[in-house]
Amino acid sequence: MTKKAWGGRFGEELNDKALAFSASVDVDQRLAAEDVEGSIAHVRMLAERGIVPLEDALNIERGLTHIAEEIAAGEFEFTDAREDVHMNIEATLTERIGAAGGKLHTARSRNDQVATDMRLFTRRACEHTAASIDAVLAVLASRARTEIHVLMPGYTHLQRAQPVRLSHHLLAWAEMLGRDRGRMLDAAARMNESPLGAAALAGTTFDLDREATAHALGFRRPMRNSLDAVADRDFLVEAVAALANCAVHLSRIGEELVLWSSQEFGFVEMSDAFTTGSSIMPQKKNPDMAELIRGKTGRVVGDLVSLLVMLKGLPLAYNRDMQEDKRPVFDAFDTVDDSLEVLTGCVATARFDGDRMRAALREGFADATELADYLAARGVPFREAHHVVGALVARASAEKKVLSELSLEVLKAAHEAFDQDVYEALDFERAVERRALVGGPARAQVTSQTERLVGELMARGVDTAEVAERFGVKVTGR
């Protein structure tokens, strides 16, 4: 097929520069499997409706199946001269089986064809990303089990705030990613409608069975409006928005791993398998994988912005601008899926230092709220209790002590409600265990949260133990 293949309207070939500029096969050949799948569903329906002879339809299907096998084996030669994946496949088909190949495109446009391909691809990609999130969740659940005894400071404003369990913090990461998983599957469900049969924009005069092709391709139903069917790309925006949200969560987790692995924190030592050294400083062990997870987030956010800006000024229905939707979509999925896999390995193989975490608790006045709550439980207005304890923190800090080292005499001088049992309130383990409300860091609550997560994963067919073993989880807390 030549560069002037689109009928008799044109008297000269497309300019070479224009051809190179408009060709998209280097990107959209990734849709080859979806393109063949949609074409087979289409031609089967054409045969069933008597629009294309059955013999021709069978030849077309056999030819498409053979082409798909070649593509999967890396033996198919794509060419820019045929512009995109759709014409590469159709033109090759026609070369091989003759005029019957030209009947494949009956009652179909590249507009509804590419919209169908992209929905098939994106639906599967959402499900794949959800499965990748499940792997992270399985590792987080396993680490939450093994680190249940480890206490650490919880932070606000990056300042030590209150004592929590490390497992509680890991499960907070799981909650974030669990919502991302839900958003991916929500997007997959909402896009599960078939554009096929909408043709260029106004449907077709052929007596198609759009319900049949929709169901053959696993869609819930045909799209209700032919204009919308070929013009809509908000299903891509929604999926990439979910990916961008996930990438931001991954970045926040990566940032905490970077901070925790610094000598200033010393809460975690990343595995050698997920760190690198310095080209000049032999002592360095850099958390590069966590940093790259953080850094790649900008790409995914950029992919979302690219889609939104591309769409914002487009009239209905199809416009060639939409050719530019594929690169950001593919990049966003690839980047997030790679980041999820790397994060799974980072968390699975990290060695948490429980002693260092407990030392940080002791040094950071993370028990101050316990003193304020102690007074409040004895009828002291909380604001007054807050003021009293603030003054005690200032005194302890000036004397280079922790609160539990202040004498009862000093405490009573600050407020008469203090008594000998106040020192029990300053025990970190007891402080955490008193926070036994739903969602709290007490051991029973954290254990319940962990087992709920494991149960949800098992219900989805995810073997938490198998995933943890595959990614190298070991009991490494100390």
DSSP string, 148-163: TT-EEEEEETTEEEEE
Residue 414 has pLDDT above 70, yes or no: yes
CB proximity list for 200: less than 8 A, separation 6 or greater: 109, 111, 112, 230, 317, 318
Q: How does pLDDT run across 35-62, given as a tens digit for each residue? A: 999 999 999 999 999 999 999 999 999 9
Q: How much is the pLDDT for 7?
A: 59
Q: How large a percentage of the chain has pLDDT more than 70? A: 97
* Residue 105 banded pLDDT, cuts 50, 70, 90: very high
Q: How much is the pLDDT for 162?
A: 94
d(CA 295, CA 219): 36
Contact call for residues 174 and 137 (beta carbons, < 8 A): yes
Phi, psi of 78, deg, nearest 5: -85, 145
d(CA 2, CA 77): 16
Q: How much is the pLDDT for 477?
A: 43
Burial 62-101 (b: 16+ CB within 10 A, else e): ebbebbbeebeeeebebebbbbbbbbbbbbbbbeebeebb
Fold of 368-425: Ribonucleotide Reductase Protein R1; domain 1 (1.10.40)
* Residue 208 banded pLDDT, cuts 50, 70, 90: very high
Catalytic site includes residue 42: no
* Residue 166 banded pLDDT, cuts 50, 70, 90: very high
Phi, psi of 92, deg, nearest 5: -65, -40
* Residue 364 banded pLDDT, cuts 50, 70, 90: confident
Architecture of domain 111-149+167-204+224-260+269-350: Up-down Bundle (1.20)
Which residues make beta-bridge pairs with 352?
Answer: 268
Query: E strand or H helix at 369, and its extent?
Result: helix 368-377
* Residue 340 banded pLDDT, cuts 50, 70, 90: very high
Contact call for residues 226 and 318 (beta carbons, < 8 A): no
The one catalytic residue in 128, 262, 278, 397 is: 278
Catalytic site includes residue 278: yes
Q: Look up the CATH number of domain 16-106.
A: 1.10.275.10
* Residue 372 banded pLDDT, cuts 50, 70, 90: very high
| Prediction pTM value | 0.93
What pairing do the DSSP bridges indicate for beta strands 221-222 and 193-194? parallel
Q: How much is the pLDDT for 472?
A: 86
* Domain regions of the chain by residue span: 16-106, 111-149+167-204+224-260+269-350, 368-425
Residue 5 has pLDDT above 60, yes or no: no
Q: How much is the pLDDT for 6?
A: 54
Q: Which residue has the higher pLDDT, 241 or 17?
A: 241
Q: How does pLDDT run across 238-284, given as a tens digit for each residue? A: 999 999 999 999 999 999 999 999 999 999 999 999 998 888 887 88
Q: How much is the pLDDT for 9?
A: 74
Q: How much is the pLDDT for 209?
A: 98
* Mean model confidence pLDDT for the chain: 95
Q: How much is the pLDDT for 10?
A: 77
Residue 475 has pLDDT above 90, yes or no: no
Look up residue 307 and give its amino acid. L
pLDDT-wise least confident of 4-18, 331-345, 406-420: 4-18
Residue 159 has pLDDT above 80, yes or no: yes
d(CA 470, CA 466): 6
Average pLDDT rounded to a whole number, residues 354-369: 92
Q: How does pLDDT run across 278-308, given as a tens digit for each residue? A: 888 878 899 999 999 999 999 999 999 999 9
